[in-house]
Amino acid sequence: MELTKEKIKEKALELGFSSCGFAEAGVLETENAFFHNYLQEKRNAAMHYLERNPEKRLDPRLVFEGTRTVIGLLLNYFPSEALPEKDNFIISKDAYGRDYHIVVKERANALISFMKETDANVNAKAYVDSGPVLEKAWARMCGIGWTGKNTLVINPSRGSFHFIAIILTDLLLEPDAPETDHCGNCTRCMDACPTGALEKPFVLNPSLCIAYLTIELKEGIPENLEGKLNGRVYGCDACQDVCPYNRFAIPHELPELLPSETLKSFRKDDWLNLTEDQFNLMFKESSIRRIGYKKLMNNIRSASGSTEIN
């Protein structure tokens, strides 16, 4: 059986992906100047890993030898019901269930297995927030979304609540047309950002971003920003919650991405008294475990204004 893009797309949807697109591998010319300026202006804050292998980040052929086609995939994580915010601390929707790095990578690898079963000569490798791959840029090139003013990928018919997976392969497939910008004059995401991290359209200052502060920043959250967390202790959905395109978001049906009964029952007192043993048990398969108990409790301390936390 010949391995076509139609068969790959059909299998991707069967595996739970909501979108699948294809692009010809090559240098990301549009992102070239932007990315280098981004690094020169130190807009990556403490994310120093972005400074490594800049050439590879702009050309996937240097990442995976023989790459001819880039496959872009979106996996929906929009929940049917958000966790309660009253008398509670807030975590972003992408952390409700099992660690998305694992969930998405498993499905991407399953797609690669299908490709190899159909054509034993195919070589491919999947990336989910891993390796020097500019996932958002390739999502646009694959035609499955554009980078909005909040710097997140927006799909015109499904919104922005999705994870991105990229597959690099030596299989030569007809590319799809890149997606174009549809933000227009809308600035709702910028207006909604509690800390003003979206300093201008398509430009994010990570040192002000709540997602960066609560996940990536190893040090404590700056005191001048603590009052702007609005109860958020892991990630932030403020710019997504107001995006008009998310009115098209359809709740996912993936059990792995649903919150546990324990997480659904948690309220402020439970978070404030969370022990390290409880943390390890509760978040053993969650992306939250990556920041560690100490960082989470520091975030809670900053969001609550309390200094008396276990």
Q: Which residues are known catalytic residues? A: 129
Of the candidates 93, 77, 21, 108, the residue with the CA atom closest to the CA atom of residue 253: 77
Adjacent-strand bridge partners of 124: 169
DSSP string, 20-47: EEEEE-S--HHHHHHHHHHHHTTTTTT-
Between the alpha carbon of residue 282 and those of residues 225, 244, 301, the distances in Å are 28, 34, 19
Q: What is the largest CA-CA distance in the chain?
A: 64
Q: The tokens 């990442």 sit on which residue?
A: 63
Q: Which amino acid is at 254?
A: L
Alpha helices in the chain (DSSP H): 5-14, 29-40, 54-58, 100-118, 135-141, 188-192, 210-211, 223-226, 238-241, 261-265, 268-272, 276-282, 292-304
Tokens of 156: 């015109």
Q: The tokens 């130190």 sit on which residue?
A: 42
